[in-house]
Structure 1
Amino acid sequence: MRTIAKATGAMNRALQGIKALIISGDLSPGEQVRQEEMAEQLNVSRVPLREALNVLADQGLLFHRPHQGYFVTKRAQGEYAQIRRMLHLLESELMLSIRWPDDALLYTLRKLNAEMRVCVEQADIQRLIEINREFHFWVFSLSPNNLILEEVRRLWSMLEPPMWNKFERAEDRQSTLLEHDRLIAALEACDRSRCMAELERHRYSPESGMPIELPGAAPDMPEPRARAKRHTNTK
């Protein structure tokens, strides 16, 4: 049992380490993950490292080229907009179906936001990102829709590298804490419409800078009625 726990711990350490390097920009989009160097840097063996690489490939942060290795996924802005749009729809679906939190969970959410406040004061961005994710998924897990929840987890992983540009400025980090406070208050009040409004405000606050407009042509419009009538008269 100790051996299994140790292996799992090494894999999780590798997983979090590589993800942190991607989010921080130390691993750039399109860059190859050199496994020998990465195993040494993260102080893990090749086996848990490969397991972590496979997980990150499943999450969409990496992609695998046969006989070449793993590379950091490089996405166009239009792709990020599509991911953001999917999250918009699925997160809203979760919020529409959540049960109201009990006092213990409200305490947990306030405690997490207090821990985030310490990270803001210390400018510990990596830890801030981790706690922020935990905060949101405690809320989302109030929904019984587990399949939607798992898809939201996957999409969050794909979007995380550019998502956290909003944490670069101190004032934006402070805004996140206030937005969380308002969301907790809405949850405590059992006010669903207020919860949806607070999530929307938090999710698309101006400082996030992440578009949701989808690429492509505008949808076809119906033919004007007058034109359709003239066409009928020529028959």
Structure 2
Amino acid sequence: MERALQQLRAKVVSGALSPGEQIRQQEMAEELGVSRVPLREALNVLADQGLLIHRPNSGYFVAKRAPNELAQIRRILQLLENELLASLEWPDAQCIEELRALNALMRECVSAEDWTPLVRLNREFHLKVFSLSPSRLILEEVKRLWALADIFIATKMADSGARRRTVEEHELLIDCLAGRDRSRCLQMMEIHRASTSSGLPPDVKAAAETVQAEVPAPSAA
């Protein structure tokens, strides 16, 4: 099931499956080289995560997200991620090495013809950082929202320069974690978010700026 899940997610976030498009299960199972059972399990997972919509008696469809919805997801993530960063426990040497290894895998994708695995690796990298926090309920919600955020992350990653910047910014973030500097970690994450925002489509970027203006930022603790 995991292979079918990753392949389906890649098709959604890369745009190979368009918003509103129906997933024809027999055709998709043949294309992915899996049986209907693991495919259906993968479809259910993506539906639970909000990337697909299940309509009884009709099937599964790629979810459509309005620019304002994507902007709200991004804003909620900013607020919740800051809570996790403020409470994280500092990583040990092994965790730092695991983060560097993940980022090295991302670096290999920067110039690759098929760069889409970088979206999954990017999500794994960030969630590994956020999992250092003991705030498990907030972490679970962040995981759910990151699944929805893959679409606009992939929009940014379509540009090779953005992929390269992402890897470089990750290295700086790892250095902040290794140095156990919480203030620098928060600052670096804001820089990283601003970099992501610059790669958003104009309508999503405008909506994000509107949402940012309407919701007050959390005060620094």
- Structures share fold, TM-score greater than 0.5: yes
Displacement over 3 Å in runs of 4+: none
Deviation per residue, 1:132-178 (Å, 9 max, x gap) = 12211111110111111111111111121222222222221111111
Equivalent runs, 1:33-72 vs 2, <5 Å: 33-72=23-62
Distance 1:193 1:123, change over 3 A: farther
Q: Distance in 1 between matches of 2:56 and 2:81?
A: 35
- Amino acid of the residue matched to residue 194 of structure 1? R
Q: Distance in 1 between matches of 2:60 and 2:142?
A: 24
The answer as to 2:213 corresponding to 1:208 is no
Conserved 8 A contact 1:117-1:177: yes
The answer as to 2:105 corresponding to 1:108 is no
Question: 1:122 aligned to 89, 112, 116, which one?
Answer: 112
Equivalent runs, 1:144-159 vs 2, <5 Å: 144-159=134-149
Question: 2:18 aligned to 28, 34, 47, which one?
Answer: 28
Deviation per residue, 1:103-158 (Å, 9 max, x gap) = 11111111222222222133441122222122111111101111111111111111
Structure (1 or 2) with the larger CA radius of gyration: 1
Conserved 8 A contact 1:98-1:143: yes
> Aligned residue for 1:227?
none
Aligned-residue Cα RMSD (Å) equals 1.8
Q: Which runs of 5+ in 2 are unaligned?
A: 216-221
> Aligned residue for 1:225?
none
Conserved 8 A contact 1:179-1:202: yes
Q: Distance in 1 between matches of 2:80 and 2:156?
A: 22
Query: What is the aligned-residue identity percentage?
Result: 56
> Aligned residue for 2:2?
12
Q: Which runs of 5+ in 1 are unaligned?
A: 1-10, 220-235
- Amino acid of the residue matched to residue 143 of structure 1? S
Q: Distance in 2 between matches of 1:134 and 1:29?
A: 24
Q: Give the SS at the match of 1:122.
A: coil
Q: Distance in 2 between matches of 1:80 and 1:163?
A: 11
